[in-house]
Amino acid sequence: MKGEAKYGEWAFLGGIFIAVLLGIGASFVPADWIPLLWGMLAALGIIAGFMNITEKEVNSFLIATIALLAVANSIVPIEVVLKSVPAGDVIVAAISGFMSALVAFIGPAGFIVAIKAIYELGKSE
């Protein structure tokens, strides 16, 4: 069980690292790597959802996932303001890319955790 937790931690850290890479450095990443990195994000999210979140952490994780998805969808007003400052387009591209990549990582993890929670609720004792 301890080894599984370590893999889950590495999957989570790898997902965050790739999300930062895609967000901030997407213009430096070769274009043919982008689909592979998005796929890796989703796969790492699934692994993290299976291995990292214990039954005790389910509610907190799902609430945090909902908050993240809400923030990611409401970032447009900030982007409008940032576009009016010098180098705003670069900042907006980095923030928006990072948030999209983070959603691509956390979304599958949230899905897996939600399915596990529904299964546990429906399981007969």
Closest CA to 19 of 94, 125, 123: 94
Q: Is the pLDDT at 122 greater than 90, yes or no?
A: no
Q: Is the pLDDT at 3 greater than 70, yes or no?
A: no
Q: Which two tokens stand for residue 74?
A: 């409401």
Q: Is the pLDDT at 2 greater than 70, yes or no?
A: no
Q: Is the pLDDT at 1 greater than 60, yes or no?
A: no
Domain ranges within the chain, ordered by starting residue: 2-122
Whether residue 97 contacts residue 26, with contact meaning beta carbons closer than 8 Å, is answered with: yes
Element containing residue 19 per DSSP (H, E)? helix 2-24
Q: What is the pLDDT of residues 58-106, one digit of tens each?
A: 999 999 999 988 888 777 777 777 778 887 787 787 888 888 888 899 9
Query: DSSP of 24-93, one letter per residue?
Result: HSGGGS-GGGHHHHHHHHHHHHHHHHHHT--GGGHHHHHHHHHHHHHHHHT-HHHHHHHTTSTTHHHHHH
Helix (H, G, I), strand (E, B) or coil at 125: coil
pLDDT-derived band at 28, boundaries 50, 70, 90: confident
What pLDDT is stored for residue 115 in this prediction? 94
What pLDDT is stored for residue 7 in this prediction? 77
What pLDDT is stored for residue 110 in this prediction? 93
Whether residue 18 contacts residue 41, with contact meaning beta carbons closer than 8 Å, is answered with: yes
Residue 1 or 95, more confident: 95
Q: Which two tokens stand for residue 44?
A: 């790492």
